[in-house]
Amino acid sequence: MCRSITGNGVRDTLRVLQRHIPLTVHEVPSGTPVFDWTVPNEWNIRDAYVKNAQGERVIDFRRSNLHVMSYSVPVHRTVSLEELKAHLHTLPAQPDWIPYRTSYYKEDWGFCLSHRQLSELREGEYEVCIDATLAPGHLTYGACYLPGASAAEVLVSAHICHPSLCNDNLSAVALATFLARELRPVRQRYSYRFLFAPGTIGAITWLCLHEADVSRVQHGLVLSCVGDAGHLSYKRSRRGNAEIDRAVHHVLQHSGQAHDVEDFSPYGYDERQFCSPGFDLPVGRLSRTPGGRFPEYHTSADNLDFVRPEALADSYATCRSVFDVLEGNQTYLNRNPKGEPQLGRRGLYGAIGGQAGERVEELALLWVLSLSDGSRSLLDIAERAQMRFDTIRAAADALMAQGLLAEVAVTSRGNASAPP
């Protein structure tokens, strides 16, 4: 499927996702103004080739949809090799790979090919054909909304505009789809919104059309390049210490695996739009090797071989753990704040005293009691105690069951924020 920022490749892709999750497909007409941008004309391509004097397709769209620069305008004529070369893109350093190139906002046409292919082209006339249309139509995106106990939302976004590239970004499209499928059966505390839209213009369009509702987004993740063999890498939201930033950091820290956490920068995927200063949403980006930092990036080598099932599974498990933190990150009040409550008579504490050390579960009880003064969430406590969130969460559950904690309604959208 030859996906681009508009066109049937996107529609076909969303149809595949609809087999797995309830996905609403939205069509936005070309020409619609969206903030500083305008929804572009729709691009569709049927065929494209370069034929040599012998009539052989020396570059053939049917072999790889990367061969055509995305959004190339239609062309059909005969050109010299020299004129052709001005429209050819190769990667001399990776002579066997076809690069991926686009020209969305400047009318142009081009072919991408391996440098080896280029070196085999002989002087002569070539028939160039791009059988495409670039005309008023629609921009297409898909959204899957899973209502939870609260209208407060977790946004998960994957761009869907790249043609046959696998890590960037089919890996994230697949991951988001499976997350939605697995979260759907159980009603969560938060509502979840999964967005499958073309990069940049798709996110801007969605933000523009949903401007009034965007404040519901309390946490968000842009997923990209989540299937390669590299370790996980998180890029913080522009806020830098949003709850999502701390939740992902916590999960990665306790994963026992190598990982990176880096500060926000305004270059990257659609976190650029969600974190633009007019929105400044608490949206970070989860990747394995981030786009642009692996040689296969935006080339024909970003194919199915480059993506590993176990890496995708690890990305999936990490997202689930992050959601567990968000879902469980409540704030409590110790109802017996003066001195410790007597845990022993409630069966929460060992009966025989004097032994050195403390079980981690008992220590977690003490941390939750010590810090649950209404101003700290369980994630705050887990961070301070340097313990796993699930251990702290289990301690809070045990204390709640004994009536030792009261839940606190947190209304602010600060660090300890919970759904309204």
Q: For its own copies, give the closer residue by CB, 326 or 371.
A: 371
User: How far apart, in whole angstroms, are the C-alpha atoms of residue 151 and residue 298?
Assistant: 37
Sign of the torsion formed by the C-alpha atoms of 350, 354, 359 and 365? positive
Q: How far is the CB of 361 from its own copies (least distance, A)?
A: 12
Q: How far is the CB of 333 from its own copies (least distance, A)?
A: 9
Of 201, 139, 170, the closest CA to residue 17 belongs to: 170
Of 15, 73, 27, 80, the closest CA to residue 50 belongs to: 80
Cβ atoms of residues 399 and 361 within 8 Å: no
Q: For its own copies, give the closer residue by CB, 210 or 413.
A: 210
Q: For its own copies, give the closer residue by CB, 181 or 366.
A: 366
User: How far apart, in whole angstroms, are the C-alpha atoms of residue 195 and residue 291?
Assistant: 19
Q: How far is the CB of 335 from its own copies (least distance, A)?
A: 9
For residue 9, what are its two tokens? 């490749």
Of 174, 304, 284, 270, the closest CA to residue 232 belongs to: 284
Q: DSSP state, 71?
A: T
Q: For its own copies, give the closer residue by CB, 256 or 353.
A: 353
User: How far apart, in whole angstroms, are the C-alpha atoms of residue 159 and residue 343?
Assistant: 51
**Furthest C-alpha separation in the chain:** 93
Q: Which 3-state string (H, E, C) describes 72-113?
A: CCCEEEEEEHHHHHCCEECCCCCCCCCECCECCCCCCCCEEC
Phi, psi for 55 (deg, rounded to 5): 80, 10
Q: How far is the CB of 2 from its own copies (least distance, A)?
A: 15
Contact set with its own copies (CB under 8 A): 34-37, 69-70, 89, 99-106, 108, 110, 200, 203-204, 207-208, 211, 238, 265-267, 272-273, 275-279, 291-292, 297-298, 334, 336-342, 344-345, 351-358, 363, 366-367, 369-373, 385
Cβ atoms of residues 7 and 68 within 8 Å: no
* Rounded (10°) CA dihedral 60, 292, 157, 252: 140
Q: For its own copies, give the closer residue by CB, 138 or 272.
A: 272
Q: For its own copies, give the closer residue by CB, 66 or 158.
A: 66
Of 271, 283, 284, 287, the closest CA to residue 232 belongs to: 287
Q: How far is the CB of 224 from its own copies (least distance, A)?
A: 14
Q: How far is the CB of 213 from its own copies (least distance, A)?
A: 14
Q: How far is the CB of 55 from its own copies (least distance, A)?
A: 30
Strand 125-135 versus strand 42-51 pairing type: antiparallel
Q: How far is the CB of 402 from its own copies (least distance, A)?
A: 11
Q: For its own copies, give the closer residue by CB, 313 or 360.
A: 360
Q: How far is the CB of 276 from its own copies (least distance, A)?
A: 5
